[in-house]
């Protein structure tokens, strides 16, 4: 009986959290079109988020491209289908691996950063100080960050995809003596707008989810240093979960359009 109560209680907490997150998202959409626009802070956040994640995304993308090609090569060789390598790599990276891996990296890098930064601002009463000075901390801190992650993630994904395909080319060049021109010709031959557009659209949603959850957790951080740690940690966990759900929905919706 006790365990049933516990499950019901956990479910209640989960629903409450979903409700609060939805209210937070609603407030974002309400505030985003209101003046004054904090354009300078938005650009600053774009710079920080983009610039600070660039190296990490590049290294990860490069390794993924490299490893993916090395692992797939023997199997394709068995079937005499190594010439399909550029097509296979490009489609899988552009459609799925690139966006989801980059988003997960950014959830760890950017989402936890936002959670910790806003959490410590809450704990040290900096957010309260903004509020009592009659300024709108939601507009300055939250709207700018969510917009920055929404617009910067597609850029990072595009960059990561390019590096991953370059990593794959390096392996093909070393192992199969394939020229740069031939490899990229095959990559672009395999790609269609139907691969690029849905993959790009979903990265905007990924970016929005990273910013939203990070901001939600940090802004509503409980008092104390433990609260800051918890905000950063739960921002990553919740975002990662949400990214897979969004990815599933995106693939499902894309599939419906393909069928049409």
Binding another protein (rule: CB under 8 A), the pick from 21, 73, 88, 126 is 126
- Does residue 134 touch another protein according to CB under 8 A? yes
135 binds another protein, rule: CB under 8 A:
yes
| Distance, CA of 80 to CA of 62 (rounded, Å) | 26
- Please list the helix, strand and coil fractions of the chain in percent, rounded to the nearest 5, in that order: 90, 0, 10
Q: Quick one: 95 or 145, whose CB is closer to another protein?
A: 145
Stretch that binds another protein, among 132-140, 147-155, 176-184, 218-226 (CB under 8 A): 132-140
Q: Is the dihedral of CA 70, 65, 247, 252 positive or negative?
A: negative
Give the chain's largest Cα–Cα span: 70
Instruction: Single out the segment in contact with another protein by CB under 8 A; choices: 2-10, 120-128, 152-160, 207-215.
Output: 120-128
- Please, which residue, 128 or 189, has the CB nearer to another protein? 128
Please give the structure tokens belonging to residue 51: 């610039």
Among 36, 55, 79, 252, binds another protein (CB under 8 A): 36
Q: How many residues bind another protein (CB under 8 A)?
A: 14
Rounded distance, CA 204 to CA 152, Å? 8
Reference 146, options 247, 28, 246; nearest CA is 28
| 130 part of the interface to another protein, by CB under 8 A | yes
**Interface with another protein (CB under 8 A):** 36, 121, 124-126, 128-136
């Amino acid at each position: 009986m006790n365990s049933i109560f516990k499950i019901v209680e956990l479910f209640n907490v989960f629903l409450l959290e979903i409700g609060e997150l939805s209210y937070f998202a609603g407030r974002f959409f309400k505030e985003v079109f209101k003046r004054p626009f904090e354009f300078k802070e938005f650009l600053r956040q774009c710079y920080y988020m983009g610039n600070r994640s660039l190296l990490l995304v590049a290294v990860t993308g490069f390794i993924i491209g490299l490893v993916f090609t090395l692992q797939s090569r023997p199997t394709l060789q068995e079937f005499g289908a190594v010439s399909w390598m550029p097509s296979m790599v490009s489609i899988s990276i552009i459609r799925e691996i690139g966006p989801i891996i980059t988003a997960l990296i950014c959830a760890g890098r950017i989402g936890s950063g936002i959670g910790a930064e806003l959490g410590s601002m809450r704990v040290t009463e900096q957010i309260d100080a903004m509020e009592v000075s009659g300024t709108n901390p939601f507009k300055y801190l939250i709207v700018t960050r969510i917009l920055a992650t929404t617009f910067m993630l597609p850029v990072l994904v595009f960059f990561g995809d390019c590096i991953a395909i370059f990593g794959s080319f390096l392996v093909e060049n070393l192992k199969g003596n394939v020229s740069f021109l031939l490899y990229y010709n095959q990559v672009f031959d395999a790609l269609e707008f139907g691969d690029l557009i849905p993959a790009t659209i979903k990265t905007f949603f990924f970016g929005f989810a990273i910013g939203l959850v990070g901001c939600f957790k940090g802004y509503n951080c409980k008092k104390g240093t433990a609260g800051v740690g918890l905000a950063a940690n739960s921002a990553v966990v919740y975002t990662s979960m949400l990214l897979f759900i969004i990815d599933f929905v995106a693939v499902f919706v894309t599939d419906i359009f393909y069928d049409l």
